[in-house]
Chain A
Amino acid sequence: MNGQKRILGTLLALVAFVASFAAVAPSMASAADYPTKPVVAIVPFSPGGGNDILLRLVAKYITPALGEALIVENKPGAGGQVGWTALSKARADGYTIGATSLPSMILIKSLREDVPFSLDDFQYICNFQVDPIIWVVNADSQFGTARDIVDFAKANPKKLNVAGDGPQSNVQLQHLVAAKLLEISSNFVSYSGSGPALTALLGKQVDMAATTLSSAIPHIEGGRLRPLVLFYSAKMEAIADTPTAKEAFGIEIPSIGMALRGVAAPKDVKAEQIATLEKAFKAVAESPEFLEQAESLGLAIQFMGSQESTALVTETAALVEQYKSLFEEK
């Protein structure tokens, strides 16, 4: 008995000791200069994916501009929902930020029920990369151009097998919008990511794939895959010969599925801290070494500041609202 009492006493003393430390700690942290410790960036996807590689690449170059390291923390789950929920609830002390990906974030919010985060829970720091959707086929495919695909799909409704990341993904949204405007119907088969979808295409399981440009680049450069059309208004350097949707079909198709990758912070983070972060990211986006490596990986860097990024979210949300019923039709 005595022994147990002694343990209890010791424990109480320990708690008191620790508590006194905790009381002192916060007051030391609220100094004016920011940042004084590494900033954590939540990536709501598994390591190795598009967002992950982008942020890790940024992390490699941001330390001089930020003054502290940027640590990438993967928090995958439910197509990003788990990570974004965590970001929306994170402490607003400026030391937790997170990767954003439009329109995926908006799709999750508008297609699912009971999503615990809202688009207003974030302050958008910047947008970093655009990753448009393309149609690709195997190098030796019977389809020479995007028009061939449309002709085939018109002649054989629902027979064209299209692999793509899904379900309810930005890729599928782009494909559905394109199919709707081109008045074709195809069979979209969801794979768990652009990687598996392209593998299925390489293995000739499907007729074509819809994918983000960055995932297809290595295969295009390796000569195994051929891009047919780019769903974006401007040409991309990596595939300069590929026609845009406007050139290929003569009609305007919104680049609604284009992945826009950036970073955001919880909404209560101080404005000065947001500005510091924005500046640091901007410095990376302008650094020649970073740009060179990003280019060699096929990442199209387009920097957009905080205000522009916020406007972009509203704009994209409206577009998604307009087209989301396409997911139901099938």
Chain B
Amino acid sequence: MEVLFSGIAKGGLLLLDPMTLFLILAGTVFGIIVGSLPGLTSTMGVALLVPVTFGMSPAMGLALLGAIYCSSTYAGAISAILLNIPGTPANCCTLLDGYPMTQKGESGRAIALSTAGSAVGGFLSIFALLFLAPPLAEFALKFGAQEYFLLAIFGVSVIASLSERNMIKGLISGCFGLFLSIVGMHPLTGNVRFTFGIAELYNGLPLVVALIGLYSIPEVISILSGRQEAVKQSRSVGRGVFGQMMEIFHHKILLLRATVIGIIVGIIPGAGSSIASFVAYDDAKRSSKNSGMFGKGSPEGVIASETANNAVVGGSLVPALTLGVPGNAVSAVLLGGLMIHGLKPGPVLFIENNAIVYSFILSLFVSNLVFVPVGLFIARYCVRLIETPASILGPLVVGLAVMGSYAINMSMVEVWIMMAIGLLGYLMKEFDVPREPLVLGLVLGSMAEGELARAMSLVHGSVLSLIQGMLTSPISLIIIGLTLLSLWQGIKKQLLARG
């Protein structure tokens, strides 16, 4: 406790430096650009700016990196809502309802809701990081191979609710996503499968590359073919935006649930913000009174997805700072940044570098406030994008897709992979196969395979002891229960729908 309060006091003082506040602002602007461009992810944004922070004091450098992390996680929603192309994998669920809202002429409202939801989710998760980090970190360690495997299965059960319109096609799409994700090396034996000699596929289909192809290319085709339903003009973002943002507080329970899901998923090392937003979306859909609206422009869908993925930010930093175990790829990069600034992550961090760590955590609060006005300001101009003539917007989106898929690993091979997946995405759209289950499968596949193989290896190949282990671990039981509940509710809905 004493460490906490002295840290808050000293960290707060460090944060009051005007230069630090300016860097947070600059980081936010940069993060929003990075986040909203498909292909530039939060991980890249932070990694690319680590060298820029060399010349700064650790407190300033970390505040800058933190601001990028917060704002880029939020900004992917802008392109998801306006263009039907998710800016980062975590915004895949946002477009399910965000884009239909745009089509209804409510793009301003959708952006206001996603901004407010992101800010609330982010803010609450930083609270958890500040006050609950040590116990939450212990919880993170309770996750072993079998829990991860069950978590992946739970994630897969969400496919059912993502594909209500056509269950069989949804399931095929999900399975294909899982399949594409496990292409490459077997996580335990190292045997290489289905790569056809392409080394870029050794660790599975690269997620961001796939996402760009899956959404950008079909979208370009549909806007250039003029096949898209007319998008109604939206009243500009800005007028009455405050009132629209306040709308999220009509959904207090939803906000809270999405935040908790985001924090928990964030804490678990290896699970990322995309899983959080899928799970929160599914949860919101099942618990909502208007679940029929989901997928047709439900504000609740946008709120759930965006709140959860920003709540991951605080969660993922819990094990990173307290144990030195990063919760996801972005926090791994942030940890690297910490170390280069001479800070040692782990239990001693909070004592040895008390002031810097707390100034970093406090700066995240500021970042979560700052991206609201900055985001709305930028979005106000982005809304005009949908008024751009198709013959100009289309080629630009292709240009960005090519650049984005190249920039991830500076590889032209991945540009070709992006195009192949683009063809797949076009065909899926053409034949009415939902694409979101495929993305979910891509996120979960290698986790499901690897963790099952590990869990089996840990019990020396005995299926019986694996099942016994699952039935005696409280966390495993809870996840199994949630999975069954989710499946049961899905089946019940299908039965009811058929009468």
Contacts and interface: CB of A to CB of B under 8 A. Distances in A.
Interface string A122-140: 0000000000000000000
Listed residue (B43, B142, B200, B324) with the most chain A CB atoms within 10 angstroms of its CB: B324
Which one of B202, B339, B342 has the greatest number of beta carbons of chain A within 10 Å? B339
A79 B335 CA distance: 21
B336 A205 contact: no
Interface stretch (B172-180, B188-196, B363-371, B386-394): B188-196
B324 A81 contact: no
Interface stretch (A26-34, A175-183, A184-192, A243-251): A184-192
A73 B269 CA distance: 25
A159 B462 CA distance: 12
Nearest to B457: A189
A167 interface: yes
B254 to A, nearest CB: 32
Interface string B337-353: 00110101111100000
B460 interface: yes
A320 B490 CA distance: 54
Nearest to B344: A218
Contact of A224 (B50, B200, B319, B347): B347
A82 B414 CA distance: 11
Interface in B371-386: none
A288 interface: no
A203 B188 contact: no
Contacts of A56: 50-51, 336, 340
A74 interface: yes
A6 interface: no
Contacts of A48: 47, 326, 329, 332-333, 335-336
A71 B202 contact: no
A195 B43 CA distance: 17
A296 B143 CA distance: 30
A283 interface: no
Contacts of A57: 340
A53 B336 contact: yes
B404 to A, nearest CB: 16
Contacts of A3: none
Nearest to B184: A78
A297 interface: yes
B199 interface: yes
A192 B340 CA distance: 23
A56 B345 CA distance: 17
B238 interface: no
B144 A190 contact: no
B269 A199 contact: yes
B141 interface: yes
B280 to A, nearest CB: 24
Contact of A202 (B51, B145, B187, B323): B323
Contact of A219 (B184, B319, B346, B409): B346
B202 A205 contact: no
Contacts of B329: 46, 48
B174 to A, nearest CB: 23
Contact of B199 (A72, A77, A296): A77
A114 interface: yes
Nearest to B329: A46
Given A202-B325, A203-B141, A77 B450 contact: no
Contacts of A79: 185, 202
B346 A221 contact: yes
A190 B188 contact: yes
A282 to B, nearest CB: 21
B18 interface: no
Contacts of B333: 47-48
A278 interface: no
B454 interface: yes
A159 B459 CA distance: 9
B246 interface: no
A96 to B, nearest CB: 11
B200 A77 contact: yes
Contacts of B270: 196
Nearest to A63: B54
Nearest to B347: A222
Given A48-B336, A167-B185, A205-B145, A199 B325 contact: yes
B197 A114 contact: yes
Contacts of A81: 199, 202
Contacts of A77: 199-200, 202-203, 409, 411
Interface string B114-155: 000000000000000000000000000111110000000000
B491 interface: no
B200 to A, nearest CB: 6
A78 B198 CA distance: 10
B362 to A, nearest CB: 23
Interface string A39-70: 00000001111001100110110000000010
A150 B66 CA distance: 45
Contacts of B186: 167
A78 B51 CA distance: 25
Contacts of A254: none
Contacts of B346: 218-219, 221-222
Given A59-B51, A199-B269, A205-B144, A167 B189 contact: yes
B21 to A, nearest CB: 25
Interface of A: 46-49, 52-53, 56-57, 59-60, 69, 71-79, 81-82, 85-86, 111-112, 114, 116, 158-159, 161, 166-168, 187, 189-192, 195-196, 198-200, 202-206, 218-219, 221-224, 293, 296-297, 327
The 9 lowest CB-CB distance pairs between A and B, nearest first, are A78-B202, A167-B190, A48-B332, A218-B346, A203-B141, A222-B347, A47-B47, A48-B336, A205-B144
Given A46-B329, A47-B47, A189-B457, 18 more contacts: A56-B340, A77-B199, A77-B200, A77-B411, A82-B199, A82-B202, A166-B188, A167-B188, A168-B190, A187-B460, A190-B187, A190-B188, A192-B450, A199-B269, A203-B141, A205-B144, A206-B458, A219-B323
Interface of B: 43, 47, 50-51, 54, 141-145, 184-190, 192, 197, 199-200, 202-203, 269-270, 319, 323-326, 329, 332-333, 335-336, 339-340, 342, 344-348, 409-411, 450, 454, 457-458, 460
10 contacts: A48-B333, A48-B336, A75-B411, A76-B409, A78-B199, A192-B187, A199-B319, A199-B323, A200-B145, A219-B346
